[in-house]
């Protein structure tokens, strides 16, 4: 039974290879190779390329059986790219869209501090990564919960900073690469280059900042609870480390 439960938990994890194939590899191949007029054409090629990230979003939703905040944001970004391309809005809008999406997330992360549902608890301080119930019981027991709340605030600032960095890098990359009118093969080629470069140029630096925020949160939480790193992890992660 225990082995079955562990297997089920592993199956529910996001498949990184599928993520890369559907969100980067297939769209780049289609945009760069199949958007010529004698093939799919710029418009149908763009629709075909964007259909794969859309399918992955639906697959992830069906397999996880719950909404993933970042997946929804990614889907909205894909939808807006499709609208700009299909309806041939000015290509300059791509840079604005690329910058606006992470910027709005960063603002939402900061604003959520003033609500009962801070997004930092959804993104890095959650049951998937950490044993939040165990942590909070210990914090209440030793009277350090208020100090922990301050730690969450500082972590939120770092998390918002990662999205701000993403916004700036997104805008710079789009402005550098996207010059051709929407609805053309050249536009699709440029969009393919931007998609292919988005991970090394944007995702990796932003992820690094997010990991720094997570490391800071774990280090401070360990100090406030007296737990070692492994003791802070969610139960399924602790079992995997055994």
Q: Say if residue 92 is exposed, middle or buried (CB neighbours under 10 Å; 0-12, 13-18, 19+).
A: middle
Is residue 66 a part of any domain in this protein? yes
Tokens representing residue 211 in the block: 């990991």
Is residue 76 a part of any domain in this protein? yes
Tokens representing residue 240 in the block: 């995997």
Contact 194, 178 (CB under 8 A): yes
Is the pTM value of this prediction over 0.85? no
Is residue 5 a part of any domain in this protein? no
User: Cα dihedral angle (82, 21, 72, 58), rounded to 10 degrees?
Assistant: 90
Range of the domain at 32: 12-241
1 Cβ neighbours under 8 A, 6+ residues apart: none
Contact 199, 208 (CB under 8 A): no
Tens of each residue's pLDDT in the chain, 242 residues: 444 444 444 445 566 678 778 888 889 899 988 898 889 999 999 999 999 999 988 888 888 776 666 677 778 888 899 899 988 999 999 999 999 999 999 999 999 998 988 889 888 898 888 999 999 999 999 999 999 999 999 999 999 999 999 999 999 999 999 999 998 999 999 999 999 998 888 889 999 999 999 999 999 999 999 999 999 988 877 777 66
Is residue 43 a part of any domain in this protein? yes
Q: What's the structural domain count of the chain?
A: 1
Is residue 4 a part of any domain in this protein? no
In this predicted structure, what is the pLDDT of residue 242? 61
């Amino acid at each position: 039974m225990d082995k079955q439960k562990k297997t089920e938990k592993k199956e529910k994890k996001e498949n990184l290879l599928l993520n890369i194939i559907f969100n980067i590899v297939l769209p780049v191949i289609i945009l760069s190779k199949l958007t010529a007029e004698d093939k799919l054409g710029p418009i149908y090629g763009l629709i075909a390329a964007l259909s794969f990230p859309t399918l992955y979003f639906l697959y992830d939703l069906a397999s996880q059986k719950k909404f993933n905040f970042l997946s929804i944001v990614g889907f909205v970004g894909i939808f807006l790219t499709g609208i700009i391309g299909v309806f041939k809005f000015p290509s300059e809008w791509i840079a604005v869209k690329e910058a606006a999406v992470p910027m709005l997330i960063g603002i939402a992360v900061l604003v959520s501090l003033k609500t009962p549902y801070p997004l930092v608890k959804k993104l890095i301080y959650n049951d998937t990564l950490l044993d939040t119930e165990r942590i909070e019981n210990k914090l209440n027991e030793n009277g350090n919960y208020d100090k922990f709340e301050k730690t969450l605030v500082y972590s939120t600032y770092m998390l918002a900073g990662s999205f701000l960095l993403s916004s700036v890098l997104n805008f710079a990359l789009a402005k550098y690469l996207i010059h051709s009118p929407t609805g053309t093969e050249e536009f699709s080629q440029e969009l393919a280059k931007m998609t292919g470069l988005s991970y090394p140029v944007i995702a990796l630096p932003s992820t690094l900042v997010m990991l720094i925020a997570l490391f800071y949160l774990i280090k401070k939480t360990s100090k406030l609870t007296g737990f070692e790193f492994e003791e802070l992890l969610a139960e399924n992660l602790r079992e995997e480390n055994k």
